[in-house]
């Protein structure tokens, strides 16, 4: 990549607690308001259930739960971001989603090694923009955590 051409990455920015996260706009097919969710029994706790997305039954997961944050009541601002990943379509429940921005690729850095005590593999990188810090998500890893297999085994 040459240095003098500005390469931008278009992302959807959403909020969780007081942090801002970003996913590539190509992976997002819709952003929906909260809808009635039908619980699916005996699945991983972050899988909240399924919704009727214009005739397609779509699973939704609660990102707060997935990221080990405390779950809160859903508000007017709560959104479901519908992600399309290969053949999979999954909804992510987030606190708010209201921004589409271009971030220069140069401003993306590798995720710092120490984010908490445990390392998280689903943060692909960190983008620093003037006043903001965006955490770029690796959706694939968000959807299929490595320990999911173990969860399934424990439940099965």
Binding site for other proteins (CB under 8 A): 36, 38-43, 47, 50-52, 55-59, 86-90, 143, 152, 155-156
CB of 42 to other proteins, least distance (A): 4
25: which residues sit within 8 A by CB, 6+ positions away? 10, 11, 12, 100
Question: Between residues 10 and 152, which has the closer beta carbon with respect to other proteins?
Answer: 152
CB of 46 to other proteins, least distance (A): 12
Rounded Cα–Cα distance for residues 67 and 121 (Å): 11
Residue 55's CB is within 10 A of a number of other CB atoms, namely 6
CB of 37 to other proteins, least distance (A): 8
Question: Between residues 112 and 156, which has the closer beta carbon with respect to other proteins?
Answer: 156
CB 125 within 8 A of CB 137: no
């Amino acid at each position: 990549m040459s240095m003098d051409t500005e390469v931008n990455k278009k992302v959807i920015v959403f909020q969780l607690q007081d942090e801002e996260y970003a996913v590539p706009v190509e992976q997002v097919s819709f952003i929906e308001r909260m809808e009635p969710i039908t619980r699916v029994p005996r699945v991983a706790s972050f899988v909240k259930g399924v919704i009727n997305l214009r005739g397609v039954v779509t699973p939704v997961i609660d990102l707060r739960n997935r990221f080990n944050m405390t779950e809160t009541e859903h508000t007017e601002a709560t959104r479901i971001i519908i992600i399309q990943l290969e053949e999979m379509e999954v909804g992510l429940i987030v606190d708010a989603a209201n921004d589409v921005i271009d971030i220069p690729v140069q401003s993306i850095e590798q995720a710092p090694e120490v984010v908490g005590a445990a390392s998280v593999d689903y943060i692909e990188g960190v983008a620093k923009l003037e006043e903001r810090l965006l955490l770029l998500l690796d959706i694939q890893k968000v959807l299929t955590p490595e320990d999911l297999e173990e969860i399934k085994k424990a439940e099965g």
